[in-house]
Amino acid sequence: MARLFISSFVSGAVAAGDLAITWNDCGSATSHGHITDVHPTVISIGGDGSMTGTGTVDKEITGGSFSIVAGAYGVTQKYSGLACEAKTFKIPLGLGTVTWGGLDCPVAPGNLTQTVTFTTAAIIPSSLARVDISSSAVDQDGEEVNCLHTHLDPTSLEDTVTAGDLAITWNDCGSATSHGHITEVHPTVISIGGDGSMTGTGTIDKEITGGSFSIVAGAYGVTQKYTGLACEAKTFKIPLGLGTVTWGGLACPVAPGNLTQTVTFTTAAIIPSSLARVDISSTAVDQDGEEVNCLHTHLDPSAISISV
């Protein structure tokens, strides 16, 4: 049941629009290369695209490595690889991919060209649309080849999802041999954005002194899995600074009789509305590896307003 969290991170998403690109060469005085032009200066949200930097280099490049650091909404991601090889990275939450094209090694002294290609989801949280990206490369001798800083900012953003509610439907998925079953989940509606909690209650026919839990959530084609000890609280960070979710932990030892489990969460209202529809399955096993309970929940927007 702890998977209730992702769908509460909805609101503040943008669909179509453009991102303006501003940039500066951040190479040091001893850098062997410098970027003199970046194009295009505007890219569209959604679909595929590319950004190419051109400049000069005063040394032959036969190898080395690159490092890319991107920051948005207080979250930083770092990617690295070999300078002369193409490499594709997946962006968390199914928001797209980015590919370092690789330098065309050996690169002779003279002109320098580097292209980054990308695919983007049609809906991107507006807070994530403002991005700072720094990329740098060193050569086969560990000497700086180039450094480029770019800033992307929305020039026109449409279809902003604001506050709303998520309706919760659920079913007990415990097997015939499960020692516990959930008979109620409340609340049945949670608000998008902010903090909240969801509690499942039911019955159990065995004393629980230990064990583990597993939570799997799927939304927008992305699946996340979390695990931990059944009797201990554990907090998980959601990627991209979207919030946290806490498995409250069973109050062990749990005597046969009533069973209660609460999940609390903090949310940042910046996820596309497509992520509001979430399927969450949670299971727990006891100290003997026997099933304690299984719960499947589905969260769906019951009222989402769109403003343009």
Comparing 33 with 278, the larger pLDDT belongs to: 33
Burial of 231 (0-12, 13-18, 19+ CB in 10 A): buried
Give mean pLDDT, residues 68-82: 76
Cβ partners under 8 Å of residue 80, min gap 6: 65, 66, 67, 68
Instruction: Tell me the mean pLDDT in the region 262-269.
Output: 66
pLDDT number for residue 30: 93
Q: Report pLDDT digits (tens) over 9-32.
A: 333 444 456 777 888 889 899 999
pLDDT value at residue 91: 67
- The chain-wide mean pLDDT, for the chain, equals 76
Residue 193 has a pLDDT of 65
pTM (predicted TM-score): 0.50
Write phi, then psi, for 248 (nearest 5 degrees): -70, -20
Exposure letters 65-76 (e unless 16+ CB within 10 A, then b): bbebebebbeee
Residue 189 or residue 107, greater confidence: 107
The CATH class of 2-12+161-307 is mainly beta
Average pLDDT of span 190-199: 72
- Same fold across 2-12+161-307 and 17-157: yes
- Least confident interval from 31-40, 176-185, 217-226, 268-277: 268-277
pLDDT band at 56 (very low <50, low <70, confident <90, very high): very high
Per the CB < 8 A criterion, the answer to whether 51 and 116 are in contact is yes
Instruction: Report pLDDT for 47.
Output: 65
Q: What Å distances lie between residue 57 and 30, 86, 115, 116, 134, CA to CA?
A: 11, 20, 16, 18, 18
Would the pLDDT of 234 be above 50? yes
The position carrying tokens 């695209």 is 49
Q: Which ranges constitute the DSSP H helices of 236-301?
A: none
Considering the domain delimited by 17-157, tell me its CATH architecture.
Answer: Sandwich (2.60)
The domain locations on the chain are 2-12+161-307, 17-157
